[in-house]
Amino acid sequence: MASASHCGILGLLGLFVVGLLGAAASADRSARFAEQAQQSDRVLAAGAEFLRDTIDRHERLLAQIAETAAAAEPENNEPLKRLLTLAPALTPDIAAAAIVEDGSVLAKSQPGLPDRLLLAAAGPPAGSFSVFFGARLRDAEYPLGLVTFGRPIATEGDGKTVRLALLVLDRSLFDRVNRVAALPPDAQLSILRQDGTPLFGEAIPMDEAMRTVAIPGVPLILRYEPPTAALEMAWRADWTRNAAFLGGMTLVAVYAVSAWRRRNRRLARYNAVRKAREALKIRRNLTRLTAAATRADEANRTKSRFLAHVTHELRTPLNAVLGFSEAIRRELFGPIGNPRYAHYAGLIHDAGSHLLSLIDDLLDMAKVEAGKMEIAPIRVSPVALSRSVLDIVEVSARQRSIAVAAFGVDECPDLYVDLRAAKQILINLLANAIKYTAPGGRVDFRFAGRAEGGVTITVADTGIGMSKEDIVVAFEAFGRATKAPQQPGTGLGLPLARALVRLHRGELSLTSELGYGTIVTVIFPPETAAAKQVAPMPLPPAEFVSMRAA
């Protein structure tokens, strides 16, 4: 079965090579003949242009001879005789010039030229041209042949020509045309009269390879026969060599394919064994990784349950500590003998409050990680929200001499958010801004409606700022900026704020630069904004600079 398949492949390969060879040979033949056709056009164009220019000069000379001959009788016309004598010297292809009338030569430039040659083809053929070419003449003294080129000088009443001006052209005209046309080897060029009579060149029957062009203004045709036979022979020789070369290459390819198939079969067996071993190894690794992931997930859930349980258990005694310390500090049940006890009770209350806030953060973070944090959106006024938040952070801001102001609360639409979560977000952001802003600085937070819907809340400070690396760390749970001064806290404020924003399907982003403050932007989606006219976002106060311009 494998042998039959192998033979089929070799047969298809052979057919493909033969077809490719035939297509390439056909395309090459077409290209060669197309190039030959272009060369033929160039040869004809160059030869026709040169022949037209030469005949134009001869025609002007004939016109001058005819005008001079018409002025007086040729026998007594000295200017005519001088012009006839001078004509052969003007152009190398003019053998002689003459005046012929009624079958006799009245004047000629070359006395030795027989009159019979001039008279044999002196008559103009029928046609619409003012000049004519006689038939090709051959003589023992002129074996290469001569051609007469003439024009009528005078006619009788019935239109019969009685006097002609003639130029006798020899083969040098044809030789010059061949040189100018740059005739390739084995090609032939012929000059014919308009009726097809050959003047110069071989009288070759027309075939489809020949090309002709009429010379405008004169009864001449230039015919060109390209070296088609030589081109065909060269093409056959080239493609015989190509076929031999491709045949040898095909044999080499067949052998190479056979060797390649044998190698592939051995390689396939080896790869099958190797892949089976790798698959077994991957399955074992996958089993171990799945077990490890399960253990890690279980550990994470255990941690979250532990945090939720422990924080909940810690809140009960901590509430008692806060309540009793508050009662002692305020002396609700009578005066305390030593005032230092009231001071210590206040310290206990402050420490317990701080511990309670940390426990609340841990509890909220554990709920978020466990996916158990739920929100209950209600309609919240930006004015009320900002006022309640400012009341909470006002004390710490006053202690650090930091100005905190809210903008845009009156123009901003109401929000449908969870009130506790919204307050927690803003408190965390403002607390961080106050914590990392030097005394005398400023913290602004701004409410603005978005044109496409939703609300943007921006918290900007003039604090120490953060590097790009610190921003990444700040968004991690328990992360603390490495270059920031150590401040109390767990490092959960920013991650918890982002988590609460995402519960509202919003997004929180942060931009900062060392030494130039930080800007935190909270974007609530359109579904959290109540229908209300959105006003343009007001500009910040002139004295507040939050970030350096890029």
Residue 325 belongs to a domain: no
Domain that holds residue 97: 2-226
The predicted structure's pLDDT at residue 443: 92
Whole-angstrom distance, CA of residue 94 vs CA of residue 316: 134
The predicted structure's pLDDT at residue 350: 64
Residue 312 belongs to a domain: no
Domain boundary among 192, 226, 260: 226
Q: Is 8 exposed, middle or buried (0-12, 13-18, 19+ CB in 10 A)?
A: exposed
Supply φ then ψ for residue 227, to 5 degrees.
-75, 65
Specify the CATH number for the domain of residue 418. 3.30.565.10
The predicted structure's pLDDT at residue 213: 83
Question: What Cα–Cα distance (Å) separates residue 10 from each residue in 1, 242, 377?
Answer: 14, 20, 76
Maximal CA-CA distance, the chain: 169
- Find tokens 């015919």 and name the residue: 223
Residue 279 belongs to a domain: no
Q: What is the pLDDT along the chain (550 residues), one digit of tens a residue?
A: 555 565 666 667 667 767 777 788 788 878 887 887 888 888 888 888 888 888 888 888 888 888 887 777 766 677 877 888 778 877 788 888 888 877 778 877 877 677 777 776 555 555 556 788 877 776 666 666 788 888 888 766 555 656 788 888 888 888 888 888 787 887 788 888 877 778 777 766 666 667 788 888 788 888 888 877 777 787 888 888 877 877 777 778 777 878 888 888 888 888 888 888 888 889 888 888 888 888 877 766 666 666 665 665 666 676 767 676 777 767 767 777 777 777 777 777 667 666 666 666 666 666 666 666 777 889 999 998 889 888 888 888 888 899 998 899 888 999 899 888 888 889 888 988 888 888 989 999 899 988 888 899 999 998 888 888 888 887 776 666 655 555 555 667 788 888 888 888 899 999 888 888 899 999 999 888 876 544 444 444 433 333 333 3
What total of structural domains would you count in the chain?
Answer: 2
Domain boundary among 157, 192, 226: 226
The predicted structure's pLDDT at residue 541: 44
The predicted structure's pLDDT at residue 542: 37
SS3 track for 413-440: CCEEECHHHHHHHHHHHHHHHHHCCCCC
Residue 146 belongs to a domain: yes
Specify the CATH number for the domain of residue 151. 3.30.450.20
CB 246 within 8 A of CB 21: yes
Residue 107 belongs to a domain: yes
Residue 143 belongs to a domain: yes
Q: What is the DSSP string of 512-542?
A: E-TTS-EEEEEEE-GGGBPS-PPPPPPPPPT
The predicted structure's pLDDT at residue 524: 92
Residue 249 belongs to a domain: no
Residue 471 belongs to a domain: yes
The predicted structure's pLDDT at residue 469: 82
Q: Is 399 exposed, middle or buried (0-12, 13-18, 19+ CB in 10 A)?
A: exposed
The set of residues, in sequence order, having a beta carbon less than 8 Å from that of 102 and lying 6+ positions away, is 162
Four-CA torsion 436, 437, 443, 445, nearest 10 degrees: -20
Domain boundary among 168, 191, 226: 226
